Amino acid sequence: MEIRGKCVVPGITKGELIVSFEPISFLGDIDPKTGNIISIKHPLKNHSIADKIFAFPHGKGSTVGSYIMYQLRKNGKAPKAIINQEAEAIIAVGAIISDIPMINGIDINQLPHGARVEINAEKGIIKFL
């Protein structure tokens, strides 16, 4: 099965999906040293986005979130790719400066948490493995 969206940042990778059905802020919701979701109100608290394909509806919060994404990359804790329902500037800029493949325009409800997928962000394709 394939799902198609639009490329924001090109790249090809494979990995396990971690799906958040709630928007997320990289500033305050994710620890840049560990890649863990640390927001006490988030349903995925204590889950790691490091080396996962991270899907969420859209970002929220401060423009510093882009820099937090860059810190995650520098610390080796960045996601392998990002999938958004609706890309917004903070997340897109963070993915660009951190060289994280990113796809936009995906219905997050179609993505099962824990599934293994292959991302071809240049073509906007998600393949289930």
Catalytic residues: 62
Identify the three-state secondary structure at position 28.
Answer: helix
Residues 6+ apart with CB under 8 A from 89: none
Three-state DSSP class for 2? strand
For 61-112, the DSSP string reads S-THHHHHHHHHHHTT---SEEEESS--HHHHHHHHHHT--EEES--GGG--
